[in-house]
Chains A and B, each alone.
Chain A
Amino acid sequence: MSVIPDAPDPFARDRGGPAQPLLSVSGLYKHFPVRKAGGKKQVVRAVDGVDFDVLKGETLGIVGESGCGKSTTAKLLMGLIERDAGSLLYDGQPVGERVMPWRSYRRQVQMVFQDSYASLNPRMTVEQSIAFGPKVNGVPGREAVERARALLARVGLEPKRFAGRYPHEISGGQRQRVNIARSLALEPRLVLLDEAVSALDKSVEAQVLNLLLDLKAEFGLTYIFISHDLNVVRFISDRVMVMYLGRVSEIGPSDTVLDAPAHPYTEALLASMPSLDPNNRTQAALLQGDPPNPIDPPSGCRFHPRCTLAEPICSETEPPLDTVGPLHRVSCLARQPGSGHSAAPARALAA
């Protein structure tokens, strides 16, 4: 029988100190089998070798087009689907093994889903939904309900008015606040927000984003923030990771990645984003067409068929994720010294 620590400060539960990444992901793979006509077995390479760290207290944004593996990565991180390969280290401890079974991991890592309606049980009141987690973890009923009410108040929903409501009786923004409150009910240290504000109106979205920032400061949270909206990611993230066809194409500090992107894909994503400022419009080529089929991804660099810098070598060599600046890593041959790409910087710097 486990009991949730009453201490509100998650750093009280810290093991490895501030330098130890809160979550360390390496070699993460997930291939989904599909059957095509004719009975041939094939796989969708949804997540195809992903490594990254989530630092304590930061917000890591994950961006990419739909189908790039963002949501599969989220589900893998939560253990909602089983990974084919790879390891998760939570505060230095391997997840899914004896020192850190999924059950204890999930009390520290929680998730907020995109669809605010589908993620709440329509037959439970708001308060019951929030109290469910603490209750199944051994918190006495009345205490769990009190905690639910306190959380409702904290996310800006007056308990007297909202606790007894059902999901269909409140607005989308209010529902997402409820979902956030539920994710906090187990007092996690890491919250994974999977397109958590994408379905909301712009004005509501801004309110919820501000709420997220407040909660983060108050509870000392770490966020993984998945979104397709670069503006939102720029607003909330400390670091950004760009994914393309199941792989990481660029990762680094938000300002660097979003203002001076090193990967042509990031550049294209930024360029395809509508800007209100005429001086801010880039001349870079927009993304052409849809991403290629993840069943049969292009050889070499997966982005080369849509890339403006593509050279023959790009379809032959798979680019590694290499460091190009402080905390800034990119998987593009054109940015890697000695790669053989004509635009690559000189090797001298590295030597």
Chain B
Amino acid sequence: MTAPITAASMALDGGVLSAGDAAPEAAFVPSRGFWGHVGHRLVRDPVAMGAGAVILLVVLIAILSPWITPMDPYKGSMLRRLKHVGDATYWLGSDELGRDMISRLMLGSRLSLFIGVTPVLIAFVIGSAIGILAGYVGGWTNTILMRTIDVFFAFPSVLLAIALSGALGAGIFNSIVSLTCVFVPQIARVAESVTTGIRKRDYIDAAKLSGALPLTIMRVQVLGNVVGPIFVYATSLISVSMILASGLSFLGLGVRPPEPEWGLMLNTLRTAIYANPVVAALPGVCIFVVSIAFNLFSDGLRAAMEIRQ
């Protein structure tokens, strides 16, 4: 069966018709579409916008850090150890090996963001696939998949992350793998319940009546409606993921020295809490600020998506 796919592209780009389809009529009443409405409401939410600005700033710093750090983040000096915040050369002080804190914090944003966000992204893809499949197919497939997921829910997430990392051994790759395993079940469960809800809607029945094949219905009618809620849920996990990823590094299970990463920096600076407490606490401030920004942005996104029906 060669059903034309134009409908799929229409549904997935969130509404506006592609140029070819819209050709006959130019004068539409402008309609924002669902994502348009969400964006409109999000822009008017000052807290979410502030949080978004912080995230954007950190992402920019992470991208540009190799070129914009004021000093070499790896070069230390035993003579200039643990300088205080406000030092003329080291604006945010220096660490226990005499390396410039601000440079290390800037460069550290790269790894911290990477190991925090990547697991959620991978889990978003895998978890959505599992959950949507279970929800849409139902029956035994659903039972088997969801009962397996239940087993992973029997572990508190921190314990599961540490157990997996501990067994796999330290390293960035292993820490990403373990965190992905933590988030896949959570996202899959949300995806399953959203999909099960959508599957019972009349418009899915209507689509069946139009003679569309299951895969077409899945792609055109189901996906567009489930991806949004799952995505919002996934964004709410980024904050937890950042804390856990840095936590693994803090325990010595993630990033290895001398690479700068906020959790690892926090660990190595623990010896300095008497000599220079403010500098020792700085990497944690970074984790905290980014984590809270992701949380607030996710809350704003969720609120913006609650459009009355």
- Residues of A whose CB lies within 8 Å of any CB of B are 1, 78, 80, 103, 106-107, 110-111, 113, 115, 117-125, 127-129, 131-133, 135-142, 145-146, 149, 159-166, 168-169, 179, 182, 185-186
Residues in chain B near residue A138, CB distance under 8 A: 2-4
| Residue pair B309, A168 in contact (C-beta under 8 Å) | yes
Closest Cβ of chain B to A278, distance in Å, is 41
Shortest distance from the beta carbon of A39 to any chain B beta carbon, whole Å: 18
Q: Mark B288-309, 1 if CB is under 8 A from A, else 0.
A: 0000000000000000000111
Question: Cβ of A103 and Cβ of B207 under 8 Å apart?
Answer: no
Tell whether A123 pairs with B224 under 8 Å between CB atoms, given A132-B7, A142-B21: yes
Q: How far is the CA of A145 from the CA of B202 in the complex (A)?
A: 22
**Complex contacts, A124 vs chain B, CB 8 Å:** 10-11, 15, 221, 224
Partner of B206, one of A111, A145, A163: A111
Question: Given A121-B225, A125-B15, A142 and B24 touching (CB < 8 A)?
Answer: yes
Contact string against A for B residues 220-234, beta-carbon threshold 8 Å, 1 for contact and 0 otherwise = 110011000000000
Could you pull out 29 A-B pairs where Cβ atoms are within 8 angstroms? A1-B1, A1-B2, A80-B205, A80-B209, A106-B209, A106-B211, A111-B206, A111-B209, A117-B309, A119-B202, A119-B206, A120-B203, A121-B207, A121-B224, A123-B224, A124-B11, A127-B17, A128-B17, A136-B212, A138-B4, A141-B6, A141-B20, A149-B24, A159-B25, A160-B28, A162-B29, A164-B17, A164-B28, A164-B30
Closest partner residue, chain B, to A133 (CB atom):
B210
What chain A residues lie within 8 Å of B212 (beta carbons)?
A: 132-133, 136
Interface string of B183-219 (1 = CB under 8 A from A): 0000000000000000001110111111111001000
User: In the complex, which residue of chain B has the Cβ closest to the Cβ of A192?
Assistant: B209
Q: Pick the contact of A113: B15, B202, B224 (CB < 8 A).
A: B202
Inter-chain residue pair count (beta carbon < 8 A):
136
- Which chain B residues border A127 with CB–CB below 8 Å? 17
CB-based contact B31/A136 at 8 Å: no
A123: chain B residues at CB < 8 Å are 11, 14-15, 33-34, 224-225
Q: Beyond the given A123-B225, A124-B10, A124-B224, could you list 20 further A-B residue pairs with CB under 8 A, ordered by the A residue number?
A: A1-B1, A1-B2, A106-B211, A119-B203, A125-B15, A125-B17, A128-B17, A136-B7, A138-B4, A141-B4, A141-B21, A142-B21, A145-B17, A145-B21, A160-B29, A162-B29, A163-B25, A163-B28, A164-B31, A166-B34
B27: interface (CB < 8 Å): yes
List B119-160 residues whose CB lies under 8 Å from chain A.
none
Q: What is the interface of chain B mostly: helix, strand, loop, or mixed?
A: loop
Min CB distance B4 to A, Å, is 5
Q: Which residues of chain B have a CB within 8 Å of any CB of chain A?
A: 1-4, 6-7, 10-11, 14-17, 20-21, 23-25, 27-31, 33-34, 201-203, 205-213, 216, 220-221, 224-225, 307-309
Residues of A with C-beta under 8 A to B210: 106, 132-133, 136-137, 185-186
Q: Contacts A132-B220, A142-B24, A164-B31 known; A113 to B213 CB distance under 8 Å?
A: no
Contact between B11 and A121 (Cβ–Cβ < 8 Å)? yes
- Smallest Cβ distance from A113 to chain B, in angstroms? 4
Q: How far is the CA of A166 from the CA of B205 in the complex (A)?
A: 19
A131→B18 CA distance, assembly (Å): 14
Contact of B203 among A78, A118, A146 (CB under 8 A): A118
Closest Cβ of chain A to B138, distance in Å, is: 14
Which partner residue on chain B sits nearest A103 by CB separation?
Answer: B211
Q: How far is it, in angstroms, between the C-alpha of A165 and the C-alpha of B37 when the chains are bound?
A: 12
Query: Which residues on the B side are within 8 Å of A103 (C-beta)?
Result: 211
Q: Contact at A80–B24, with CB atoms within 8 Å?
A: no
Q: Determine the chain A residues whose CB is within 8 A of the CB of B207 once the complex forms.
A: 121, 132
| B308 contacts across to A, CB distance below 8 A | 168
Determine if B201 and A118 form an interchain contact, defined as CB atoms under 8 angstroms apart: yes
Contacts of B30 in A (CB 8 A): 164
Decide yes or no: A168 and B307 within 8 Å by CB, A120-B203, A138-B3, A186-B210 being known contacts. yes
Residue of B nearest to A81 (CB): B205
Which residues of B are found within 8 Å of A185, using beta-carbon distances?
210
Known: A107-B211, A128-B7. A113 touches B28 (CB 8 A): no
Closest to A194 in B: B202
Residue of A122, A128, A160 touching B10 (CB-CB under 8 A): A128
**A131–B7 CA distance with the chains assembled, in angstroms:** 8
CA separation between A115 and B202, bound complex, in Å?
8
Q: How far apart sit A192 and B6, CA to CA, in the bound complex (Å)?
A: 28
For A115, list chain B residues within 8 Å (CB).
202
> How far is A132 from B4 in the complex, measured between Cα atoms in Å?
10
